[in-house]
């Protein structure tokens, strides 16, 4: 066992990287703190290369069966390291302009990435729980990072309270489950549940309640309806890059955990919880998408839209099979890239203007065509239109769901995509059709007397954020038109997850 | 040559899409190079479609110029495969003609010229995609890709209509059109996935065939009985209504007049001329090919709805004051002819319907082109305000009159051939409805002639004294369309040969008919 410890090197080094960033922070003068972003990203890139070399084609249980190094862990490690890098690069300008203590900010983001990668590799309930808590704590801090912004503080407090509450429920569910089966390792739980199913054709009530409570606890973490109340306020109050990380990273990480947990531990009793998850998915996507229509703050709109997407991703859990798992993983990747594209576009806009209402986006297509096009592409992708990732991932996922006999659910999901198209189009309309808002016209006149067309804000986005945005948009298109290479990696991960299927 | 043959249909997607991508890198302030480049790309595409049409050998029939690439492996088995058959060949040609005319008509676009042509090219690429692919996934992919650019195209470059008591804004038209069409595509999507699931269940249960999205493989499965009668009955309406929304089928047609009126000229031309045909094409290509039993059971409903379309569209067109609304409703009426033609399941009726799709596409494009010229000069489309325009804009008005004559079915123009075939088909199968359909066609004559008399002939209103005819490039585009209308009207044989090849392949799937 000890001889394999080096396989956890990426995690150990990531923790040291975070501490190194904190240490460097002490010696850097204020105006050169942006260097920390580059140190973090370079570190993540190096660790990603190391992880790929070290963990390629491995399938080994580590630490006496607490974590597993397999294709599934590696896939998600890659996703989270890349995502962490994108978040850090995308937030560099924002942090410099709006936030204090950049050193701690980047270090906490790195800790969150560490937690996420453990969440995907954990194959034991308490390890998974601790990883989840590490991620949650990182996000509690990050959400409240706008220290002088009352909204950010409020968001942080709400998030901590609800988070602690949901952790308690989750832990209670875990203890009931442990009481029922006496083990916490996924593989052993699976054996115990399968044995119980063979004996009685069902699970004991204790086990069932434990399962349900775990689902509820995780439901809070992913903001599934009716456990979503914290999400819109938290999204709105948190600093923009944190909102981006929260909606892309934390969702994908939580689903990586859920997929492994349900796929490797709870699969034998799928008949017991399938309908539960299916109903949860149906409610989540419908409420998320319908309520999103009424939003006028872009972040709040994206919060509700991400609730809608959580509903879609729950479909993958309800239709858990090797096909369903593949589809869900593809969806997670496509969703993460697309969400980041929209958010980085919004960050670029916010950096110039300090505004985030949908009505503020008027005239953006005239003044900043690239940002407007990127946001529009991201939104079209989220609504599932082709040429972009959203179409391909939705087609794959909904087909998988229908193949498992849930055509009604797939149909409902498609109608939800239609609803989502409406509110995404209102944003596109604002950018492309409506004129610039009054404040923008005034500011444009102040800076450039005599100009006819008003420009939102003044100046242009930095090369850094434009570059990040460009890469993300290319990613959205790439997944949309040529998902083949990505699917190869996902198939490997899926066969590591569900060897029988 | 064989290399070219195997990728020619793919090139119809690649050329406009590639032109669109290249246009992104043009400087936005220089509008002339953008227009010249777009025109060249469109001319090349038109030439390509003519070559493809003439390469199609109708004696052989079936899919030709085919090729296929694996796009995704198990479990979805999606192939990027394409080819042309007797039904898609005329549609490809139609798209080439209308898009070229549309680009010529767009030389007057001065606002955000670059964005306009980029979106226009992507829309056209999507339309070509639907016509040339042989895989349901990609058919659906391109179907939605064609709809996607409509929203900004109408919203940014369109025009609002003031009705005095209320205002139909272009944003309203754009939003309504997009949501209606995507709603239709949701129905189609559900049915496509249901087809796939039924196919994979059938294969898993030991049936012969392969569970894919390939139209041919699914067709084989359909022949082998993978889709039970109840399944076909249940899911054919999804295709019929889903695609029918795009074809302007009553009562889901209301997006169409609002959308067409709000759209800029070139977009109206492509939309009414080609995109609505995608709907009828989808019903034929997907619904009828894969679910023939279901189609047979539902055809009486389709023919009834189509008849309502003809009458309702014609009566609505009569009561409009706005030129574009008249044409918008006449499109509804003419698409009804297409629907009843399809529903006859008779070789003449279906062949007539496909010819009507072609002919109506050219005719509507001509209508919208001439109205676009008139609107640009007069800044009004109100029939009661216009008057005697023929005296100042003789050529434009006479082109409009040609389109009008084709639409009311004057012999010698393409509309006549199509309508007579459809009517023969309908009379053979459903006599009473055929009579109603002829009544609808007669109403067309009433509103077209009334419109001509009121708006274009008669005494010249003094306030139009200063008008002059359209620019040469616009009149050139329109005269090309006139030429096609006349050519097909007096010598429909080349087109009909190809169409009949496709129709007989299709009807071979219907043992009863």
Averaged pLDDT, B37-54: 92
Instruction: Give yes or no for residue B58 having a pLDDT over 60.
Output: yes
Instruction: Give the pLDDT confidence score for residue A462 in this predicted structure.
Output: 86
**Model confidence over B130-163: pLDDT tens digits?**
999 999 999 999 998 988 888 888 888 888 877 7
Residues of B in contact with A402 (CB under 8 A): 193-194, 196-197
Residue A387's closest chain B neighbor by CA? B145
Residue B159's closest chain A neighbor by CA? A433
Instruction: Give the pLDDT confidence score for residue A3 in this predicted structure.
Output: 60
Which two three-digit tokens encode residue A437?
A: 């808002």
Residues of A in contact with B76 (CB under 8 A): 396, 399
Contact A386 B72 (CB under 8 A): no
**Model confidence over B191-237: pLDDT tens digits?**
999 999 888 888 888 777 778 888 888 888 888 888 888 898 999 99
Instruction: Give yes or no for residue A315 having a pLDDT over 90.
Output: yes
Residues of A in contact with B190 (CB under 8 A): 407, 410-411, 414
The count of other CB atoms within 10 Å of the CB of residue A2 is: 7
Nearest-neighbour CA in chain B from A370: distance (Å):
11
Residues of B in contact with A433 (CB under 8 A): 152, 155-156, 170-171
Instruction: Give yes or no for residue A453 having a pLDDT over 60.
Output: no
What residues form DSSP beta bridges with B78?
Answer: B72
Residues of A in contact with B179 (CB under 8 A): 418, 421-422, 425
Which two three-digit tokens encode residue B41?
A: 């790309």
Give the least confident one: A8-17, A58-67, A185-194.
A58-67
Q: Could you tell me which of A260, A476, A380, A303 has the C-alpha nearest to residue B149?
A: A380
Give the least confident one: A171-175, A406-410, A455-459, B119-123.
A455-459
Instruction: Give the pLDDT confidence score for residue B254 in this predicted structure.
Output: 87
Instruction: Give yes or no for residue A501 having a pLDDT over 50.
Output: no
Averaged pLDDT, B324-334: 90
Distances (CA, A) of A208 to A174, A276, A495, B27, B428: 11, 11, 27, 64, 65
Higher pLDDT, A443 or A392: A392
Residues of B in contact with A391 (CB under 8 A): 141, 144
Averaged pLDDT, A244-255: 93
Instruction: Give yes or no for residue A456 having a pLDDT over 60.
Output: no
Instruction: Give the pLDDT confidence score for residue A500 in this predicted structure.
Output: 56
Instruction: Give yes or no for residue B98 having a pLDDT over 50.
Output: yes
Residues of A in contact with B142 (CB under 8 A): 386
Task: Tell me what the pLDDT averaged over chain B comes to.
Answer: 87
Strands A60-62, B64-72: pairing kind? unpaired
Instruction: Give yes or no for residue A451 having a pLDDT over 60.
Output: no
Q: CA-CA distance, A374 to B71, in Å (whole number)?
A: 26
Contact B137 A395 (CB under 8 A): yes
Q: Within an 8 Å CB–CB cutoff, is residue B193 touching chain A?
A: yes
Instruction: Give the pLDDT confidence score for residue A44 in this predicted structure.
Output: 94
Residue B170's closest chain A neighbor by CA? A433
Kindly list the domain boundaries of chain A, sorted by start residue: 268-501
Q: Could you tell me which of A160, A131, A313, A126 has the C-alpha nearest to residue A237?
A: A160
Instruction: Give yes or no for residue A47 having a pLDDT over 60.
Output: yes
Mark out chain A residues that contact chain B at CB-CB < 8 A.
323, 365-366, 369, 380, 385-387, 391, 395-396, 398-399, 402-403, 407, 410-411, 414-415, 417-418, 421-422, 425, 428-429, 432-433, 483-484, 487
Instruction: Give the pLDDT confidence score for residue A452 in this predicted structure.
Output: 46
**Model confidence over A372-411: pLDDT tens digits?**
999 999 999 999 888 899 999 999 999 999 998 889 999 9
**Model confidence over B397-454: pLDDT tens digits?**
889 889 988 888 888 888 888 888 998 988 888 888 888 888 888 888 888 888 888 8
Contact B144 A385 (CB under 8 A): yes
Contact B189 A425 (CB under 8 A): no
Residue B17's closest chain A neighbor by CA? A387
E strand segments, B277-317: none
Q: Within an 8 Å CB–CB cutoff, is residue B154 touching chain A?
A: no
Instruction: Give yes or no for residue A137 having a pLDDT over 90.
Output: yes
DSSP H helical ranges for B148-287: 150-157, 170-204, 215-223, 229-246, 255-262, 265-270, 276-282
Instruction: Give the pLDDT confidence score for residue B42 in this predicted structure.
Output: 93
Averaged pLDDT, A212-225: 91
Instruction: Give yes or no for residue B457 having a pLDDT over 90.
Output: no
**Model confidence over B261-313: pLDDT tens digits?**
888 888 889 988 898 999 999 999 998 889 988 888 899 899 999 999 999 99
Q: Within an 8 Å CB–CB cutoff, is residue B21 touching chain A?
A: no
Instruction: Give the pLDDT confidence score for residue A139 in this predicted structure.
Output: 94
Instruction: Give the pLDDT confidence score for residue A279 in this predicted structure.
Output: 93
Residue A483's closest chain B neighbor by CA? B72
Which two three-digit tokens encode residue B219?
A: 């067709």
Instruction: Give yes or no for residue A171 having a pLDDT over 70.
Output: yes
Residues of A in contact with B183 (CB under 8 A): 418
Does residue B328 contact residue B257 with C-beta atoms inside 8 Å? yes
DSSP H helical ranges for B106-166: 113-132, 136-147, 150-157
CB contact set of A104 (below 8 Å; sequence gap of 6+): A22, A25
Distances (CA, A) of B493 to B51, B376, B402: 17, 37, 21
Measured in degrees and rounded to the nearest 5, phi and psi for residue A498 equal -125, 80
- DSSP character for A269? G
Question: By percentage, how much of chain B surpasses pLDDT 70?
Answer: 99
Measured in degrees and rounded to the nearest 5, phi and psi for residue A29 equal -70, 155
CB contact set of B21 (below 8 Å; sequence gap of 6+): none
Nearest-neighbour CA in chain A from B506: distance (Å):
28
Residues of B in contact with A422 (CB under 8 A): 175, 179
The single residue listed with the structure tokens 């495969």 is: B81
**Model confidence over A414-441: pLDDT tens digits?**
999 999 999 999 999 888 888 888 877 7
Band (pLDDT 50/70/90 cuts) for residue A54 is confident
* ipTM value > 0.95: no
Contact B75 A428 (CB under 8 A): no
Which two three-digit tokens encode residue B67?
A: 């090729």
Among candidates B156, B194, B197 on the partner chain, residue whose Cβ is nearest the Cβ of A433: B156
Which two three-digit tokens encode residue A174?
A: 């875990």
Averaged pLDDT, A468-486: 92
Give the least confident one: A242-246, A300-304, B96-100, B428-432.
B428-432
Kindly list the domain boundaries of chain B, sorted by start residue: 2-507
Instruction: Give yes or no for residue A455 having a pLDDT over 50.
Output: no
Interface test with B, best of A372, A385, A423, A470 (most B CBs within 10 A): A385
Contact A386 B156 (CB under 8 A): no
Residues of B in contact with A483 (CB under 8 A): 72
Q: Within an 8 Å CB–CB cutoff, is residue B385 touching chain A?
A: no
Instruction: For chain B, give the longest Cα–Cα distance.
Output: 79
Give the least confident one: A160-164, A354-358, A450-454.
A450-454
Among candidates A418, A432, A483 on the partner chain, residue whose Cβ is nearest the Cβ of B186: A418
Task: Tell me what the pLDDT averaged over chain A comes to.
Answer: 89
10 Å CB burial of residue A438 (0-12, 13-18, 19+) is: exposed
10 Å CB burial of residue B373 (0-12, 13-18, 19+) is: buried
Among candidates B144, B156, B175 on the partner chain, residue whose Cβ is nearest the Cβ of A391: B144
Instruction: Give yes or no for residue A310 having a pLDDT over 90.
Output: yes
Instruction: Give the pLDDT confidence score for residue A454 in this predicted structure.
Output: 44
Q: CA-CA distance, B373 to B323, in Å (whole number)?
A: 12
Averaged pLDDT, A119-129: 93
Nearest-neighbour CA in chain B from A460: distance (Å):
17
Instruction: Give yes or no for residue A133 having a pLDDT over 70.
Output: yes
Residues of A in contact with B145 (CB under 8 A): 385-387
């Amino acid at each position: 066992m000890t001889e394999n410890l080096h396989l956890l090197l990426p995690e150990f080094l990531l923790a040291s990287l975070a501490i190194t960033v904190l240490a460097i922070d002490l010696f850097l003068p204020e105006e050169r703190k942006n260097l920390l972003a580059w140190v973090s990203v370079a570190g993540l890139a190096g660790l990603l290369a190391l992880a790929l070399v070290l963990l390629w084609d491995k399938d080994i249980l580590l630490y006496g069966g607490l974590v597993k190094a397999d294709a599934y862990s590696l896939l998600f490690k890659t996703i989270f390291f890349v995502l962490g890098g994108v978040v850090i690069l995308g937030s560099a300008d924002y942090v410099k302009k709006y936030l204090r203590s950049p050193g701690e900010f980047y270090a906490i983001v790195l800790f969150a990435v560490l937690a996420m990668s453990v969440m995907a590799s954990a194959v034991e309930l308490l390890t998974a729980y601790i990883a989840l808590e590490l991620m949650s704590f990182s996000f509690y801090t990050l959400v409240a990072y706008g220290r002088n912004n009352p909204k950010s503080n409020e968001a942080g407090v709400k998030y901590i309270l609800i988070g602690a509450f949901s952790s308690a429920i989750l832990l209670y569910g875990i203890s009931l489950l442990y009481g029922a089966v006496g083990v916490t390792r996924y593989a052993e739980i699976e054996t115990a549940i399968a044995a119980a199913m063979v004996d009685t054709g069902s699970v004991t009530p204790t086990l069932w309640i434990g399962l349900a409570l775990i689902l509820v606890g995780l439901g809070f973490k992913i903001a599934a309806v009716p456990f979503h109340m914290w999400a819109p306020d938290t999204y709105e109050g948190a600093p923009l890059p944190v909102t981006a990380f929260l909606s892309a990273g934390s969702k994908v990480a939580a689903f990586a955990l859920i997929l492994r947990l349900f796929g490797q531990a709870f699969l034998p009793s799928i008949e017991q919880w399938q309908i539960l998850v299916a109903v949860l998915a149906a409610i989540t996507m419908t409420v998320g998408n319908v309520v999103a229509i009424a939003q006028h703050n872009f972040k709040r709109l994206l919060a509700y839209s991400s609730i809608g997407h959580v509903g879609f991703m729950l479909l993958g859990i309800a239709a858990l099979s090797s096909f369903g798992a593949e589809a869900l993983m593809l969806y997670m990747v496509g969703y993460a890239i697309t969400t980041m594209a929209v958010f980085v576009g919004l960050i670029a806009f916010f950096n110039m203007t300090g505004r985030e209402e949908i009505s503020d986006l008027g005239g953006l297509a005239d003044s900043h065509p690239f940002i407007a096009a990127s946001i529009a592409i991201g939104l079209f992708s989220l609504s599932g239109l082709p040429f972009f990732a959203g179409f391909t991932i939705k087609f794959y996922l909904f087909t998988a769901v229908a193949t498992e006999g849930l055509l009604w659910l797939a149909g409902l999901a498609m109608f939800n995509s239609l609803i989502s198209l409406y509110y995404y189009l209102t944003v596109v309309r604002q950018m492309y059709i409506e004129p610039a808002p009054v404040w923008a016209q005034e500011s444009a006149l102040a800076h450039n007397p005599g100009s006819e067309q008003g420009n939102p804000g003044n100046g242009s986005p930095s090369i850094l954020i434009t570059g990040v945005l460009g890469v993300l948009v290319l990613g959205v298109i790439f997944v949309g038109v040529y998902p083949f290479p990505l699917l190869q990696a996902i198939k490997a991960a899926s066969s590591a997850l569900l060897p029988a299927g | 040559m064989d290399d070219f043959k195997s990728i020619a249909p793919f090139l119809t997607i690649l050329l406009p899409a590639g032109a669109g991508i290249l246009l992104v890198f043009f400087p936005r302030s220089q509008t002339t190079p953008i227009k010249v480049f777009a025109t060249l790309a469109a001319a090349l595409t038109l030439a390509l479609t003519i070559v493809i049409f003439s390469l199609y050998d109708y004696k052989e029939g079936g899919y030709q110029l085919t090729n296929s690439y694996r796009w995704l492996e198990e479990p979805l088995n999606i192939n990027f495969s394409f080819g042309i058959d007797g039904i898609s060949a005329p549609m490809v040609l139609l798209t080439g003609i209308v898009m070229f005319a549309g680009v010529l008509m767009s030389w007057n676009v001065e606002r955000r010229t670059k964005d306009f042509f980029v979106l226009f090219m992507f829309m056209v690429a999507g339309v070509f995609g639907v016509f040339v692919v042989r895989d349901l996934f990609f058919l659906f992919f391109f179907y939605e890709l064609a709809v996607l650019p409509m929203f900004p195209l109408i919203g940014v470059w369109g025009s609002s209509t003031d009705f005095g008591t209320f205002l139909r804004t272009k944003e309203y038209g754009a939003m309504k059109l997009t949501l209606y069409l995507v709603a239709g595509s949701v129905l189609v999507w559900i049915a496509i996935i249901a087809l796939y699931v039924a196919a994979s269940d059938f294969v898993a249960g030991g049936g012969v065939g392969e569970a894919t999205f390939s139209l041919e493989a699914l067709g084989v499965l359909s022949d082998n009985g993978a889709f039970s009668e109840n399944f076909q009955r249940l899911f054919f309406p999804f295709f019929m209504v889903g695609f029918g929304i795009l074809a302007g089928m009553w009562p889901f047609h209301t997006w169409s007049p609002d959308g067409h009126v709000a759209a800029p000229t070139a977009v109206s031309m492509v939309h009414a001329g080609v995109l609505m045909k995608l709907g009828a094409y989808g019903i034929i290509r997907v619904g009828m090919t894969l679910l023939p039993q279901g189609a047979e059971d539902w055809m009486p409903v389709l023919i009834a709805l189509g008849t309502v379309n003809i009458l309702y569209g014609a009566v609505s067109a009569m009561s409009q004051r706005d030129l574009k609304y008249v044409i918008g409703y006449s499109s509804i009426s003419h698409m009804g002819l297409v629907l009843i033609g399809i529903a006859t399941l008779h070789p003449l009726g279906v062949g007539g319907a496909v010819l009507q799709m072609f002919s109506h596409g050219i005719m509507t494009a001509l209508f919208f082109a001439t109205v676009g010229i008139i609107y640009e000069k007069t800044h009004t489309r109100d029939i009661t305000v216009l008057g005697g325009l023929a005296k100042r804009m003789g050529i434009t008005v006479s082109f409009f009159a040609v389109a009008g004559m084709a639409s009311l079915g004057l012999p010698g123009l393409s509309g006549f051939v199509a309508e007579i075939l459809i009517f023969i088909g309908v009379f053979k199968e459903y006599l009473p409805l055929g009579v109603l359909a002829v009544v609808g066609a007669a109403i067309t004559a009433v509103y077209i002639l009334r419109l001509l008399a009121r708006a274009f002939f008669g005494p010249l209103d003094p306030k139009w004294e200063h008008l002059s005819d359209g620019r040469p490039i616009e009149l050139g585009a329109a005269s090309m369309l006139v030429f096609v209308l006349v050519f097909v009207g007096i010598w429909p044989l080349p087109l009909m040969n190809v169409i009949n090849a496709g129709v007989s392949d299709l009807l071979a799937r219907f043992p009863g008919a």
